[in-house]
């Protein structure tokens, strides 16, 4: 898994949104021209989209059809999971192949916040979480984190700095839930182990370790009374246990992608944004290995790119959102099997090098009119 045995915070921060965004039309035309620069043949390129099923992803699909001259194949599952079992059919349907993968997140320009979106087709122009699938996966983890923030208390007694923890959070034998890295929080007793200073009916009190005091700063402990730890429950102090069922929509992959970085997701300013970035990083790594080790695209040119679709909430008179794309990484393979991986800075540079116009783009209105004007073909049932 992508986030195992790495600096999770550093990995998430490596996916930069600063100076890396493209309006979707600009992204797709540059992507098409990048494909042309790699020798992809006009009229023989079959794109595939690996997007969530959300209606907000429709505008990117229209632009892909406009610039590549065909409606894209479907490589996507809800939440931005790549259906890697569809590599074979995709490869069979085209000469040169492109896979565009993205998770998505809503953006409110009025307050510069991520995670919600105005649904203009609802009765009252309602605002809902987006991506809704990711939000539904996060819901249980957010509840666990909120409970812990409200039921771990910092207080002092004489010269001692103390931490009182609810028994539910301390339960080590539970199969599911939030757990604490007590070795980072609680002083080891004289006989070893984490012996409580005092036991209450629903919680236990411990002496805070010097590491914990240094991490939070002594000012985190109130001079009088006690205070919930709140936002000071930092991600490096917690982890999660969860039985992942393997839901039929994503086969459990979405939750598996997020459970290791979940402490950083639920504690971030915009959990849905952090979750989407984490999922993209995992899905690129997973899909890259299926391309590398599989044989579906043998003898084919292939470009696989992963990134983030930012759905900017529309006004009531907007038909489509002003979607923005943030590239993360790309895999490029020629028809001899030689390949390269472009990291974010590399793929950003390659896209910016491309032209902003596409002489091969399809006028969709004209194409649709030609279809309307065509002589009707009668279907014969033999």
pLDDT in tens, 236-268: 999 999 998 777 677 799 999 999 999 999 999
Indicate if 153 and 105 belong to the same structural domain.
no
Q: Are residues 360 and 326 in the same domain?
A: yes
Q: Among all chains, which residue has been given the structure tokens 């916040």?
A: 113
Q: Is residue 265 part of a domain?
A: no
**Residues 27, 111 share a domain:** yes
Identify which of 162, 276, 311, 136 has the alpha carbon closest to the alpha carbon of residue 225.
162
- Predicted local distance difference test score (pLDDT) of residue 373: 83
Name the β-bridge partners of 102: 307
Q: Please tell me whether residue 170 adopts helix, strand or coil conformation.
A: helix
152, 178 contact by CB (below 8 A): no
Same domain, 224 and 289: no
Say if residue 205 is in the same domain as residue 293: no
Of 127, 124, 76, the C-alpha closest to 104 is: 76
Would 380 be classed as within a structural domain? no
pLDDT-based confidence at 302, cuts 50/70/90? very high
Tell me what the mean pLDDT of segment 2-17 comes to.
Answer: 92
Question: What's the mean per-residue pLDDT of the chain?
Answer: 93
CA angle 20, 26, 27 (to 5 degrees): 60
Supply φ then ψ for residue 243, to 5 degrees.
Answer: -85, 110
The SS3 call for residue 283 is helix
Q: Say whether pLDDT at 192 is over 80.
A: no
Which residues make Cβ contacts (< 8 Å) with residue 63, sequence separation at least 6? 24, 25, 28
3 state SS of 135: helix
Residue 186: inside a domain, yes or no? yes
Contact 209, 186 (CB under 8 A): yes
The verdict on 349 and 305 lying in the same domain is yes
Worst-scoring range by mean pLDDT, 35-39, 138-142, 344-348, 378-382? 378-382
Q: Quick one: CA torsion of 346, 349, 351, 355, rounded to 10 degrees?
A: -150
User: Is 30 a member of any domain?
Assistant: yes
Task: Evaluate whether residue 379 is within a structural domain.
Answer: no
Residue found under tokens 């730890």: 229
Within a domain: 86: yes
- Per the structure, the count of domains in the chain is 2
Domain that holds residue 172: 140-241
How many Cα atoms are found within 13 Å in the side-chain-facing hemisphere of 167?
A: 6
Whether residue 159 sits in one domain with residue 237: yes
pLDDT of residue 316: 73
Q: Taking Cα atoms as reference points, which of 312, 352, 311, 304 lies closest to residue 328?
A: 304
**Residue 306 vs residues 134, 202, 256, 331: alpha-carbon distances, Å:** 17, 47, 18, 9
For residues 223-228, average pLDDT: 94
Distances (CA, A) of 110 to 113, 116, 316, 323: 8, 12, 14, 16
In a domain, 258, yes or no: no
State whether 96 and 185 are in the same domain.
no
Same domain, 109 and 149: no
Q: Is 235 in the same domain as 144?
A: yes
Q: Of 141, 138, 145, 140, whose CA–CA distance to 237 is shortest?
A: 145
Would strands 324-333 and 301-312 be described as parallel, antiparallel, or unpaired? antiparallel
Among the candidates 241, 257, 280, a domain finishes at 241
- Is the same domain home to 111 and 26? yes
89 is a domain residue: yes
Identify whether residues 33 and 81 lie together within a single domain.
Answer: yes
């Amino acid at each position: 898994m992508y986030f195992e045995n790495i600096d999770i915070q550093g990995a998430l921060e490596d996916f930069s949104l600063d100076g890396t965004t493209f309006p979707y039309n600009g992204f797709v035309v540059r992507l098409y021209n990048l494909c042309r620069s790699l020798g992809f043949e006009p009229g023989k390129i079959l794109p595939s989209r690996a997007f969530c099923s959300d209606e907000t992803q429709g505008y990117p699909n229209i632009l892909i059809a406009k610039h590549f001259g065909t409606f894209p194949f479907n490589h996507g599952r809800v939440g931005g999971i790549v259906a890697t079992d569809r590599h074979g059919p995709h490869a069979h349907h085209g000469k040169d192949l492109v896979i565009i993968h993205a998770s998505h997140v809503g953006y409110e320009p009025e307050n510069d916040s991520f995670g919600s979106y105005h649904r203009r087709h609802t009765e009252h122009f309602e605002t809902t979480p987006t991506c809704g699938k990711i939000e539904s996966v996060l819901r249980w983890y957010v509840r666990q984190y909120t409970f812990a923030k409200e039921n771990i208390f910092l207080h002092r007694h004489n010269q001692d700095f103390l931490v009182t923890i609810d028994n539910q959070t301390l339960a080590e034998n539970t199969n599911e839930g939030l757990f604490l890295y007590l070795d980072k929080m609680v002083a080891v007793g004289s006989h070893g182990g984490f012996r409580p200073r005092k036991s209450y009916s629903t919680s236990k009190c411990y002496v805070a370790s010097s590491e914990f005091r240094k991490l939070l700063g002594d000012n985190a402990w109130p001079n009088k009374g006690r205070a919930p730890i709140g936002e000071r429950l930092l991600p490096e102090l917690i982890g999660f246990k969860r039985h992942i069922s393997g839901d039929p929509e994503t086969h459990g992959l979405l939750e598996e992608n997020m459970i290791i970085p979940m402490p950083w997701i639920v504690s971030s300013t915009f959990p849905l944004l952090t979750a989407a970035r984490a999922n993209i990083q995992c899905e690129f790594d997973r899909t890259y290995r299926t391309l590398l080790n599989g044989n579906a695209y043998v003898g084919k040119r292939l470009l696989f790119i992963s990134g983030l679709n930012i759905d900017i909430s529309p006004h009531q008179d907007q038909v489509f959102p002003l979607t923005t794309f943030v590239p993360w990484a790309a895999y490029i393979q020629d028809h001899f099997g030689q390949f390269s991986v472009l990291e974010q800075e590399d793929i950003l540079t390659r896209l910016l090098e491309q032209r902003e116009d596409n002489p091969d783009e399809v006028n969709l209105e004209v194409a649709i009119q030609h279809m309307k004007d065509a002589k009707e073909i009668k279907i014969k049932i033999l």
